[in-house]
């Protein structure tokens, strides 16, 4: 950590009284880590299915959900276990244990009657777990560069052996006393589960497995699906192949004489596998498809939607169930419903949270941290991902356009319009004194007059490629490819370059955030944070550097820098920066972090997380106006 030059620090602290107020807010905000927490809008995004008919277990990012599918027309959710670490895969071990691959390692659950789950302790794994498989006595987990085998002892797991690679584990399957592990670029390795000894290799780049009797089916990217005879698991033998030439088949599931494969984002293939040596592709359909399971006469699917830039929107349907008895087509029997999302953006003033929850902009009362409640919502056409709010104006940005809305009345927000930049992601926006600024990687930087909301106009601009920006009343701080650029917008019709500094930065923010005249500017780089005084808003002066390792997404409040790392939030005192401090606040999959006063709010993909003490509630809505009484016209 580089020290803060006294002269620069003194210059910062001799700014107007608001600096002192912000500093006092900061002193109070150190208690955020010890304050209460709340959550709003929990929802899942299906990542992996495991079927024990009629119960379907789903790793859905936020944790694990269990669905009773005995009546496909009326699917019920039997349980949901929310996790503080993102979940990615899951497997059943025997009849009583569910193991889940999470960002924190292996999460364990005892399986009770009716599919209900009882959370047990987590087996920590550095870097988390990507793939998992299990049988009655063993559990295998795969990470970015490691394969680990555990023995079951009751519901506990004891390390048996581990192997390390240069690439990630793509898929796992137990076949008797052997583990089939597909390693990226290295084929399918076959290991003796007792000692980790490799006994054979298949030259297949398998992304998913499905075992049916003595045949192991593998989804092999653009080569389609393969059938492998594993009646002698030490000596596997490839039998047949179908569906080659497709772009990227990522999973396969088999039920009886039918096999199903998915090619994200929106292809489902049906195969006749009555002869494993001669599988036949008999049909396909287009629909969101990223997750797959099959059993009996039914197939289970879920998927996300993607725009032209590959950015996601969720369907709000975590499970769809189909009758698969007709080889050539699938017939929908029923589906489960949940909130969609993702929760991709949030801004807060300490008592209100403005939430991007596509297709809605929602306004929440978060004054009672543990009891957030929705005050209002409006549908925003073509809604973007991130949000900033200042002086009653909300700008929503991220996919190349800017939505803007009047949120001065939190009970009655009004959609105003959309500015089309003709650009592409990544795109960013900030609020100036009487205009807003938008910048993106393709079409440059634009100063936008929105006084006629139906016809927002660019009144000034600057070319080049922009990765992020933040603004005050009259200044814009933008990240280009290898530079931090300071722009003077005192004259709204003329963009003036005031300072260019060479930095390899990822993100920029101010302290306080969304401020007309912020005190500090913060850069997030790959290995550190740089802090600048804005005593002269057009000449940021570096006052400190805080070293850390691979910091994730950041947000600020009145006196702190918060950033995500390995599912937790860390804090840096922006006015007295030393080493980062772990807050023990969780962020499963942070998409935007916003703070004000002592409140911290995270748009966490699967929910809104709220941290900090209770604050003053927003004013109540005005009473409805009574229509004036009409006077009688009679004489």
Counting other chains too, the contacts that 582-589 makes at CB distance below 8 Å and 24 or more residues apart are: 583/32, 583/33, 584/33, 585/32, 585/33, 585/37, 585/609, 585/611, 586/84, 586/85, 588/61, 588/62, 588/83, 588/84, 588/85, 588/86, 588/103, 589/61, 589/86
Residue 629, pLDDT score: 61
Note whether 533 and 11 are within 8 A (CB).
yes
Nearest to 239 by CA among 190, 180, 199, 279: 279
**For a pLDDT cut of 90, what percent of the chain falls above it?**
86
Residue 556 has pLDDT above 50, yes or no: yes
Residue 197 has pLDDT above 60, yes or no: yes
Residue 632 has pLDDT above 50, yes or no: no
Confidence of residue 631 (pLDDT cuts 50, 70, 90): low
Residue 247, pLDDT score: 78
Confidence of residue 246 (pLDDT cuts 50, 70, 90): confident
Residue 98, pLDDT score: 98
Specify the DSSP class assigned to residue 6: H
CA distances from 296 to 57, 254, 284 (A): 16, 9, 20
Q: How many CB atoms lie within 10 A of CB 132?
A: 26
611, HSE (Cβ side, Cα atoms, 13 Å): 24
Taking the C-alpha atoms of residue 15 and residue 19, their distance in angstroms, rounded to an integer, is 6
Beta-strand pair 414-420/427-431: unpaired
Residue 399 has pLDDT above 70, yes or no: yes
Residue 39 has pLDDT above 90, yes or no: yes
User: What is the distance between the terminal CA atoms of the chain, rounded to a whole angstrom?
Assistant: 87
Mean pLDDT of 532-550: 96
- What is the chain's Cα-based Rg? 27
Mean pLDDT of 362-372: 98
pTM: 0.90
**DSSP per-residue codes, 499-564:** EEEE--EEEEEEESTT-SS-SEEEEEESSEEEEEE-SSTTS-EEEEEEE-SS---EEE-SSEEEEE
Confidence of residue 23 (pLDDT cuts 50, 70, 90): very low
Residue 626 has pLDDT above 80, yes or no: no
Confidence of residue 634 (pLDDT cuts 50, 70, 90): very low
pLDDT for 156-173, tens place per residue? Answer: 999 999 999 999 999 999
Confidence of residue 35 (pLDDT cuts 50, 70, 90): low
Residue 530, φ and ψ in degrees, nearest 5: -115, 135
Helix residue ranges per DSSP H, 1-125: 6-13, 18-29
Per the prediction, the chain carries an average pLDDT of 92
Taking the C-alpha atoms of residue 323 and residue 72, their distance in angstroms, rounded to an integer, is 10
Helix residue ranges per DSSP H, 324-452: none
Residue 214, pLDDT score: 97
pLDDT for 301-330, tens place per residue? Answer: 999 998 888 888 999 999 999 998 887 788
Residue 309, pLDDT score: 83
Residue 575, φ and ψ in degrees, nearest 5: -95, -15
Structural tokens at position 489 = 């917008």
The residue with greater pLDDT, 89 or 256, is 89
Residue 11, pLDDT score: 43
Note whether 102 and 110 are within 8 A (CB).
no
Residue 635, pLDDT score: 43
Taking the C-alpha atoms of residue 182 and residue 140, their distance in angstroms, rounded to an integer, is 12
Confidence of residue 27 (pLDDT cuts 50, 70, 90): very low
pLDDT for 334-355, tens place per residue? Answer: 999 999 989 999 999 999 999 9
Mean pLDDT of 50-71: 97
Residue 206 has pLDDT above 60, yes or no: yes
Confidence of residue 65 (pLDDT cuts 50, 70, 90): very high
Taking the C-alpha atoms of residue 428 and residue 201, their distance in angstroms, rounded to an integer, is 48
């Amino acid at each position: 950590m580089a020290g803060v030059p006294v002269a620069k620090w003194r210059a910062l602290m001799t700014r107007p009284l608001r600096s002192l107020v912000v500093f006092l807010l900061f002193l109070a905000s150190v208690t955020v880590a010890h304050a209460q927490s709340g959550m709003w809008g929990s929802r899942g995004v299906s990542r992996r299915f495991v079927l024990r008919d009629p119960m379907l277990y789903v790793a859905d990012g936020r944790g694990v959900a269990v669905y009773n599918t005995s009546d496909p027309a009326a699917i019920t959710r039997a349980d949901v276990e929310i996790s503080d670490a993102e979940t990615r895969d899951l497997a059943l071990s025997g009849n009583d244990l569910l193991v889940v691959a999470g960002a924190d390692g292996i999460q364990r659950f005892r399986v009770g009657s009716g599919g209900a789950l009882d959370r047990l302790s987590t087996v920590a794994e550095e870097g988390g777990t990507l793939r998992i498989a299990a049988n009655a006595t063993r559990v295998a987990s795969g990470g970015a560069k490691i394969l680990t085998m555990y023995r079951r002892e009751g519901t506990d797991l004891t390390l048996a052996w581990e192997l390390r690679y240069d690439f990630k584990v793509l898929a796992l399957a137990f076949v008797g006393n052997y583990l089939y592990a597909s390693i990226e670029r290295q084929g399918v390795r076959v290991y003796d589960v007792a000692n980790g000894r490799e006994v054979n290799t298949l030259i297949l780049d398998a992304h998913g497995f499905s075992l049916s009797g003595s045949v192991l089916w593998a989804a092999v990217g653009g080569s389609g699906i393969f059938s492998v005879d594993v009646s002698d698991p030490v000596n596997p033998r490839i039998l047949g192949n179908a569906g080659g030439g497709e772009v990227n088949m990522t999973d396969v599931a088999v039920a009886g004489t039918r096999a199903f494969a998915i090619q994200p984002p929106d292809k489902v293939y049906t195969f006749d596998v009555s002869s494993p040596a001669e599988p036949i592709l008999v049909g396909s359909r287009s629909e969101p498809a990223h997750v797959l399971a099959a059993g009996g006469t039914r197939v289970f699917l879920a998927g996300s939607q993607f725009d032209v830039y590959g950015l996601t929107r969720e369907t709000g349907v975590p499970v769809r169930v189909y009758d698969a008895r007709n080889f050539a087509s699938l017939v929908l029997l029923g589906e489960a419903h949940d909130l969609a999302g993702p929760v991709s953006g949030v801004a807060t003033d300490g008592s209100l949270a403005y939430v991007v929850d596509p297709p809605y902009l929602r306004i929440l009362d978060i004054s009672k941290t543990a009891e957030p409640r929705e005050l209002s919502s409006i549908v925003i056409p073509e809604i973007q991902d991130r949000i900033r709010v200042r002086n009653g104006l909300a700008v929503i940005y991220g996919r190349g356009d800017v939505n803007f809305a009047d949120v001065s009345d939190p009970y009655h927000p009004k959609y105003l319009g959309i500015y089309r930049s003709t650009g592409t992601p990544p795109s960013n926006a900030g609020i100036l004194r009487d205009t807003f600024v938008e910048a993106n990687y393709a079409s440059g930087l634009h100063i936008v007059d929105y006084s006629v909301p139906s016809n927002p106009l660019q009144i000034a601009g600057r070319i080049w490629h922009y990765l992020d920006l933040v603004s005050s009343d009259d200044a814009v701080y933008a990240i280009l490819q290898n530079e931090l650029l300071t722009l003077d917008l005192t004259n709204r019709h003329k963009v003036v370059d005031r300072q260019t500094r060479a930095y390899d930065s990822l993100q920029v923010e101010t302290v306080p955030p969304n401020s007309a005249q912020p005190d500090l500017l913060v850069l997030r780089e790959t290995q550190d944070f740089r802090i600048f005084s804005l005593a002269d808003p057009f000449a940021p002066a570096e006052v400190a550097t805080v070293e850390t390792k691979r910091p994730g997404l950041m947000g600020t409040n009145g006196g702190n820098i918060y950033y995500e790392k390995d599912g937790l939030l860390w804090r840096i005192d922006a006015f007295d920066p030393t080493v980062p401090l772990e807050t023990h606040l969780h962020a499963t999959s942070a998409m935007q972090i916003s703070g004000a006063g002592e409140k911290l709010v995270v748009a966490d993909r699967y929910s809104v997380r709220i941290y900090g003490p209770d604050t003053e509630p927003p004013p109540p809505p005005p009473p409805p106006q009574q229509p004036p009484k009409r006077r009688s016209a009679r004489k």
